[in-house]
């Protein structure tokens, strides 16, 4: 599975830790930036990851900014992207199980690396349940068809 990861300056430290953790555990992960704690715009990196996932260059993505909110907002502007801001293992499991999320967002200023590892593990190890949840995803897909032309 190909995974893209990106952050802004506020998420940089946590991004590096998560990248190294996933690389060590055998994930095919590509870091699209930023590459320092120098101030930058989260939008630019959310766009890179979300575009890659939307277009099928990667199956999943991870985005980290200060709160995780901005990254989530940007990523969800792309067709086929279901970005979920997760602050706990529960959120990570439910975002995959019920919503088949394909981009995980986290807040570097509010999430410790220990918590991030739990979130990431839950997110990667939870399968989409399908069933009744597919009806809801189909409705989301129909909204995208109506609004992304």
In the chain, the number of structural domains is 1
Contact 51, 148 (CB under 8 A): no
Could you give the residue numbers annotated as active site?
A: 65
- State the CATH number of the domain containing residue 92: 3.40.1400.10
pLDDT tens profile 96-132: 999 999 999 999 999 999 999 999 999 999 999 999 9
**Averaged pLDDT score across all residues of the chain:** 97
What's residue 83's pLDDT?
98
Question: What pLDDT was estimated at residue 130?
Answer: 95
| Whole-angstrom distance, CA of residue 143 vs CA of residue 147 | 6
Tell whether the model's pLDDT for residue 149 goes beyond 90.
Answer: no
Q: What domain range is 140 assigned to? A: 2-147
Q: What is the pLDDT of residues 26-77, one digit of tens each?
A: 999 999 999 999 999 999 999 999 999 999 999 999 999 999 999 999 999 9
- The DSSP symbol for 87 reads S
DSSP state of 109: T
CA 132 centroid distance within chain: 23
Q: Do the beta carbons of residue 86 and residue 73 sit within 8 Å? A: no
């Amino acid at each position: 599975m190909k995974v893209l990861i990106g952050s802004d300056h506020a998420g940089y430290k946590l991004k590096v830790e998560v990248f190294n953790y996933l690389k060590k555990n055998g994930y095919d992960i590509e870091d699209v930036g930023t590459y320092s704690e120098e101030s930058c715009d989260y939008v630019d990196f959310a766009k890179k990851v979300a575009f890659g996932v939307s277009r099928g260059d990667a199956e999943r993505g991870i985005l980290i900014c200060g709160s995780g909110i901005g990254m989530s907002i940007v990523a969800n502007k792309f067709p086929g992207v279901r970005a979920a801001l997760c602050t706990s293992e529960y959120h990570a499991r439910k975002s995959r199980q019920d919503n088949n999320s394909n981009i995980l967002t986290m807040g570097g200023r509010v999430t410790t690396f220990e918590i991030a590892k739990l979130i990431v593990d839950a997110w990667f190890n939870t399968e989409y349940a399908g069933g009744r949840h597919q009806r809801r995803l189909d409705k989301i897909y129909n909204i995208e068809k109506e609004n992304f032309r």
